[in-house]
């Protein structure tokens, strides 16, 4: 049975890495309904106006209905990457998918207007006894904390299998070539969120050599680890059109905040002693104790994010980890 951050089973032990949790705790919301404050710190990067209205409705919504309508294609595609089910998203049709076993999983869908294409990457398979889960764990290690001891089973996989970022970039480029008139956006949760942001940065940087009138690739990510340690030096730049939604109590985001980039909207959920101890005690995602595991059970799994997205409140805080993004006029 495959277990993911969306579909959890209680058969796995509590100890281990954050990405290998197997149950979910309830969460509580402290704050009343309010519109988030949008922060735009200037035209440091630009994206196609094909996405402008939809992305504005996520980062600066007029209502919770507008927010949920805009986020649904990204959220539902991310759900499909976990469940493996056929997607049923209004106005979109699935055009390709890869479900390597073991290896990277992704699904792509195209809007009926032929101008919008979304590529979503799956997060970590939690069944660490399966080859799929082990490969995902090793990809997590390789991307986010390669300076720590890697799981012993990683030696059973060849370098190509674990080259998730290379495969993700290749998939995005192939889709761009196949659908040259469509503007691509990336999405995913956790490992998938990090890949979405990294692909967006890599493709944007590749297209932005002149830095003049450049159009960046947008990413709408859910709870991404900080990506800057995984960026090659050739594309290291803190001004990217990537965006994420996250819970301020999520250790996967909070413990990597120094390496975060792009814009965000954050939910302020109930603070608790377990998460506070985690944030004090854990230096990074490679050194997680029981407090961080318990905090992650409550605040990192994708089911928690779906509950937040389709609840009764909007993210309470929006801003930028560095600089903001604006739409490209006339594009």
Give the pLDDT of residue 284. Answer: 63
The helix or strand, by DSSP H or E, that contains position 109, with its residue range, turns out to be strand 105-111
Give the pLDDT of residue 283. Answer: 66
Give the dihedral sign, CA 315/318/320/325.
positive
Q: Could you say which residues of the chain have pLDDT below 50?
A: 1-5, 7-43, 238, 324-331
DSSP character at residue 47 = E
Residue 329 CB neighbours (<10 A): 10
Largest CA distance in the chain: 54
User: E strands along 31-91, which residues?
Assistant: 46-47
Parallel, antiparallel or unpaired: strands 219-222 and 326-327: unpaired
- The upper half-sphere exposure of residue 189, i.e. CA atoms within 13 Å in the direction of its Cβ, equals 28
Give the pLDDT of residue 44. Answer: 53
Q: Give φ, ψ of 110 to 5 degrees.
A: -120, 135
The tokens describing 128, both together, are: 């660490």
The tens digit of pLDDT for each residue in 274-322 reads 999 998 876 666 667 888 889 999 999 999 999 999 999 999 999 888 7
CA distance 77 to 189: 10
Q: Encode 55-78: b = buried (16+ Cβ within 10 Å), e = exposed.
A: bebbbbbeebebbbebbebbbbbb
* Residues whose CB falls within 8 Å of the CB of residue 82, separated by 6 or more in sequence, listed in order: 4, 5, 6, 7, 122, 123, 189, 302
* Residues whose CB falls within 8 Å of the CB of residue 255, separated by 6 or more in sequence, listed in order: 278, 279, 282, 283, 284, 285, 292
CA distances (Å), 4 to each of 11, 78, 135, 141, in order? 12, 12, 13, 17
Given a contact cutoff of 8 angstroms between Cβ atoms, the answer to whether 133 and 124 are in contact is yes
CA distance 20 to 58: 30
Give the pLDDT of residue 208. Answer: 58
């Amino acid at each position: 049975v495959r277990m993911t951050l969306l579909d959890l089973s209680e058969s796995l032990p509590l100890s281990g890495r954050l990405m290998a949790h197997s149950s979910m705790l309830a969460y509580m919301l402290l704050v009343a309904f309010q519109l988030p404050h949008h922060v735009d710190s200037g035209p440091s990067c630009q994206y196609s106006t094909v996405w402008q209205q939809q992305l504005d409705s996520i980062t600066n919504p007029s209502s919770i209905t507008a927010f949920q309508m805009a986020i649904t294609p990204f959220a539902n595609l991310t759900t499909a990457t976990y469940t493996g089910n056929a997607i049923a998203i209004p106005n979109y049709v699935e055009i390709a998918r890869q479900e390597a076993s073991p290896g990277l999983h992704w699904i792509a869908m195209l809007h009926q207007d032929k101008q919008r294409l979304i590529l979503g990457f799956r997060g970590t398979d939690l069944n660490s006894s399966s080859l799929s889960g082990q490969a995902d764990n090793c990809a997590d290690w390789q991307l986010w904390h390669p300076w720590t001891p890697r799981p012993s089973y990683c030696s059973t996989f060849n370098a190509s299998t674990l080259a998730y970022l290379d495969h993700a970039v290749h998939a995005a480029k192939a889709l761009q070539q196949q659908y040259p008139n469509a503007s691509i956006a990336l999405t995913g949760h956790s490992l998938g969120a990090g890949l979405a942001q990294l692909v967006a940065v890599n493709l944007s940087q590749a297209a932005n050599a002149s830095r003049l009138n450049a159009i960046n690739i947008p990413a709408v990510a859910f709870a991404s680890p900080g990506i800057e340690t995984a960026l090659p030096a050739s594309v290291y730049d803190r001004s990217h059109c990537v965006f994420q939604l996250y819970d301020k109590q999520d250790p996967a985001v909070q413990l990597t905040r120094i390496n975060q980039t792009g814009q965000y909207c954050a939910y302020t959920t109930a603070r608790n002693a377990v998460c506070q101890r985690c944030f004090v005690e854990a230096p990074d995602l490679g050194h997680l104790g029981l407090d961080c595991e318990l905090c992650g059970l409550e605040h990192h799994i994708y089911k928690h994010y779906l509950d937040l997205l389709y609840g009764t409140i909007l993210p309470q805080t929006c801003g930028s980890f560095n600089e903001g993004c604006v739409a490209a006029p006339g594009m």
